[in-house]
Structure 1
Amino acid sequence: MTARGDGFAFPPRRPAERLGVAVVSELVELIVTGQLGEGQMLPPEGPLSEHFGVSRTVVRESVKRLEEKGLVVVSQGRGTQVARVGSWNMLDPVVLSALIDNDASLGVLDELTVVRGSLEAAMAGTLATRRTPEELTRVEHALAAMREIRLETDSFRQADVVFHFTIMELSGNRLAENICKRLYRRAMESHRFHGLTYRSAFESTLDEHALVVDAIARQDAAGAERAMRDHIVTSWQRRRLEGPPG
């Protein structure tokens, strides 16, 4: 039996986790997947409380968490309305994970790749402009660590992450670094981001990283930007899983 409120029918309950976390997680997913659409009013506290099997206090706190994430707008006397997509905090871990996990077309990962590519390219360019010999050595060591592993394994992927994070940190752009790390970490948690394996993946990845290091060594900002952007975008295109037809 599904609880109802204001014409909205909830899907069957999932196994309970910690009460507040479970309520927020399920409501985020309902909003992100469009089951609760933009401009739609959330059911009142009573039906929500009944559906989740929690007190109204827990429901109230959960709605407050949704408001903090930019997913809903609470109006005195009117209730709680789903906010427009442009207002959502897409860097919030729960929101970003729900977007990635429920995006059959992979459009969110496509957008993430464009944003990440632009920001990391800018950071690589900045580093190339003003890198010190010591900083160049750190980047070269990060690439050497990848080469030593010799196979595309979990260890290689971790060394790949270290390479990218090293350039981010050395760029000195704390805001871009923070945004990119949030995007990268969330994406890495999704099997969709890892996608398809392809021949010569190991060699292609090393070659593309080497182009970035070479441009940084020459202090070629434009070349470093281009090499980093091309690597991030083409690497995703190579391993991208096909979305459903239509």
Structure 2
Amino acid sequence: MNTPRRTPIERIGTTVLRELVEQIVTGVHPSDSTMPTEAALSEEFGVSRTVIRESMKRLQEKGMVTVAQGRGTSVNPRTSWNMLDPLVIDALVANDDNLTVLDELSIVRAALEAEMAGAAAQRLDDDGLERLRAALQNMADNIDDQAEFRQADVRFHHVVMSLSGNTLAENIARVLIGHAVGSSRFMGHDPAHSFELTLAEHGRITEAIAESDAAASRTAMSEHILGSWSRRRDPSRGE
């Protein structure tokens, strides 16, 4: 007699955790409310109390809840959440109906990457300039292939980040780009000649960095990120 295969407990816990994050993000359990008891959640998800207890610990690590012995588990306001946590940012972007999160993400990206572009301009050497121009050329070579052009676009930004020497800012920006690019809402729609405009903007960034002009590099990068998002943003979802 064959015993049916059981789903590993780790996978069950991950599924429960992802669902709980989604429920908090979408307001099923709003800020300052008290989460259902372990018994109630155990029944809702059809899992043991141990799985629920572990999920609550992980939610607390993400800043989403506070577990108080004897007083239950309360939901924290968004300002306490770890917005760079993969589960949190994925849920926020996936449920960003009015694009507020993506608007904010673009502003943060623009600020971070502008500073990195300025730093890259001040630190640039011949090898760095060669890498930057090769990344720009890769974009130009793939301008007729939507998927390849977008990948080349991301690689260009990664080169600028690397040239900045700011590893903390690079890590944060990579997280923001990585989770945003996976969202159809962030990719939006491509108006006429959008790739040509994007390539021209990257060209201005490249030349400003090549000329070691930190101020112009910051301006070019910020204008590109905010302008590109403005072009792609779905106007029907409000401002």
Q: TM-score, normalised by structure 1?
A: 0.91
Q: Evaluate the alpha carbon distance shift between residue 228 and residue 62 of structure 1 in structure 2; reply closer, same or farther with a 3 A threshold.
A: same
Q: Give 2:94's match in structure 1, choosing from 89, 101, 104.
A: 101
Q: Give 1:49's match in structure 2, choosing from 31, 42, 48.
A: 42
Q: Evaluate the alpha carbon distance shift between residue 161 and residue 68 of structure 1 in structure 2; reply closer, same or farther with a 3 A threshold.
A: same
Instruction: Give the structure 1 partner of residue 168 of structure 2.
Output: 175
1:145 aligns with 2:138: yes
Instruction: Give the structure 1 partner of residue 112 of structure 2.
Output: 119
Kept in 2, the 8 Å contact 1:216–1:224? The answer is yes
Aligned runs of 1:198-217 on 2, under 5 Å?
198-217=191-210
| Cα RMSD for the two superposed structures | 1.3
Instruction: Give the structure 2 partner of residue 91 of structure 1.
Output: 84
What is the Cα deviation at residue 243 of structure 1? 4.4
What is the Cα deviation at residue 105 of structure 1? 0.4
1:25 aligns with 2:1: no
Q: What is the alpha-carbon distance in structure 1 between the residues aligned to residue 14 and residue 154 of structure 2? A: 29
Q: Report the AA paired with residue 129 of structure 1.
A: Q
Q: What is the alpha-carbon distance in structure 2 between the residues aligned to residue 223 and residue 43 of structure 1? A: 53
Summarize deviations over 1:155-203 as a string: whole Å, max 9, x none.
Answer: 1111111100011011110110000000000001100111012100111
Flag as ranges the 4+ runs of structure 1 deviating above 6 A. Answer: none
What is the Cα deviation at residue 134 of structure 1? 1.2
Q: What is the alpha-carbon distance in structure 1 between the residues aligned to residue 237 and residue 199 of structure 2? A: 31
What is the Cα deviation at residue 244 of structure 1? 4.1
| Secondary structure of the corresponding residue to residue 47 of structure 2 | coil
Percent of matched pairs sharing the same residue? 52
Deviation larger for 26-35 or 117-126: 26-35
Q: Report the AA paired with residue 156 of structure 1.
A: F
Aligned runs of 1:224-235 on 2, under 5 Å?
224-235=217-228
Instruction: Give the structure 1 partner of residue 63 of structure 2.
Output: 70
Kept in 2, the 8 Å contact 1:124–1:171? The answer is yes
| Secondary structure of the corresponding residue to residue 18 of structure 1 | helix
| Secondary structure of the corresponding residue to residue 235 of structure 2 | coil
Q: Give 2:212's match in structure 1, choosing from 219, 223, 232.
A: 219
What is the Cα deviation at residue 18 of structure 1? 3.0
Q: Report the AA paired with residue 205 of structure 2.
A: V
Q: What is the alpha-carbon distance in structure 2 between the residues aligned to residue 230 and residue 129 of structure 1? A: 19
Kept in 2, the 8 Å contact 1:106–1:243? The answer is no
| Secondary structure of the corresponding residue to residue 197 of structure 1 | coil
Q: TM-score, normalised by structure 2?
A: 0.94
Q: What is the alpha-carbon distance in structure 1 between the residues aligned to residue 90 and residue 236 of structure 2? A: 18
Q: Report the AA paired with residue 154 of structure 2.
A: V
1:163 aligns with 2:165: no
Summarize deviations over 1:24-59 as a string: whole Å, max 9, x none.
Answer: 111111111112111101001001000000000000
